[in-house]
Amino acid sequence: MVAASAGETADAMFSFIPVEGFLGTGAPFAADLNLVVQVAMGTALLVGAFFARHRRYRAHAICQTTVLLLNLVMIAAVMWPAMRQ
């Protein structure tokens, strides 16, 4: 029995993700997904600012915390593997 390399294991883990993107730009799926998530997070930050301006601090905190946590997930999913290469 031959042990699989780390690259082969990672490829097997994410084999369900399509290779082609969905925005029609020729970019891979991961890049398209990252772009959509980043735009959504930017919009959510604007909504969070709106909440703060209208003194809805609880909603502001929930919105900003959600964006922060999602951003950490995106950093781990997109940037961390690129740094390991």
pTM score, whole prediction: 0.71
pLDDT in tens, 63-75: 999 999 999 999 8
- Return the pLDDT at 79: 81
Quote the pLDDT of residue 78: 82
The torsion angles phi and psi of 28, rounded to 5 degrees, stand at -70, 165
What are the residue boundaries of the structural domains of the chain, listed by start? 28-84
CB within 8 Å of 31: residues ≥ 6 apart: 21
The predicted-structure confidence for 16-48, as pLDDT tens digits, reads as follows: 666 788 888 888 888 888 899 999 999 999 999
